[in-house]
Amino acid sequence: MIVELPDLLPRDTVQTIVADLASAPFEDGKATARGKTKDLKNNLQLTYDHPVAKRWSAHLLKTLSEHRTVKDAALPKTFLPMRFCKYSVGMEYGEHIDAPVMRLDPTAPVRTDLALTVWLTDKQSYDGGELIVRGPLGERALKGDAGSAVIYPASTQHRVAPVTRGERIVAISWVQSMIRLNEQRAILFDLALAIGGASAHPDLASDVKALRRAKNELVRMWAEC
């Protein structure tokens, strides 16, 4: 299940983030790559502990945690801090699957159920750089407007196509969901969408109650808190 968030950040916030990142010291992304991923990863990234990264990571994670679609689609338990990445001309990230468990603190492993990307540069300002996610129906190329985001299963094969003009700047993170299985999250998201749609019609009040009761019981059965 791929869920797009077209309205995550207002334009003035995005412009402020990009302006702050302009003077930050990005480093070779291979510094945090492991094993064969080092051969696939060709980008620049900002360390988690840089003040700019810490400030805007906190802002983005607060925004994501309060977003209704994120709550319904991801049912988040834990977010990893945002990683700010740059792709200049010639840079790319070859096809890979994200590590199943990530650790910033050795005592606090995070299971990576979902990956997310927040676009910080306008898609018209660079060529290439699509996030390409391979699913059961084939590949899907994603390239959002500045301030938009996408959430997708971290267990899927995905890559970032080479940038051929301009510069691609994104913030990425991973989510441990309360619901471990993608299939279960998809069912709960469908129920949430149905509840939202039915709630707009007063004559469907009893249907909304039934749907909400079913959703709550499934969460009770499946959630790992």
pLDDT tier, 180 (very low <50, low <70, confident <90, very high otherwise): very high
Averaged pLDDT, 211-225: 93
Q: How far apart are CA 23 and CA 36, in angstroms?
A: 31
Higher pLDDT, 203 or 56: 56
Whether pLDDT at 204 is above 80: no
Average pLDDT over residues 56-65: 98
SS3 (DSSP) at 218: helix
Q: Dig out the tokens for 127 from the structure.
A: 């060529």
CA distances to 35, 38, 43, 51, 168 from 31, rounded to whole Å, are 11, 8, 10, 19, 19
- H/E segment holding residue 164: strand 163-165
Task: Report the amino acid identity of residue 166.
Answer: G
Superfamily of domain 3-177: q2cbj1_9rhob like domain (2.60.120.620)
The pair of three-digit structure tokens given for residue 26, joined into one six-digit string: 């990005």
Cβ contact 173:83 at 8 Å: yes
Q: What is the mean pLDDT of residues 98-118?
A: 91
The answer to whether the predicted template modeling score (pTM) of the entire model surpasses 0.85 is yes
How many residues are there in the chain?
225
CA angle, residues 116, 165, 23, in degrees to nearest 5: 65
CA gap 173, 2 in Å, rounded: 15
Q: Are the C-beta atoms of 6 and 144 separated by less than 8 Å?
A: yes
Q: What is the largest CA-CA distance in the chain?
A: 58
At 109, the amino acid letter reads P
Question: What proportion of the chain, given as a percentage, has pLDDT over 90?
Answer: 82
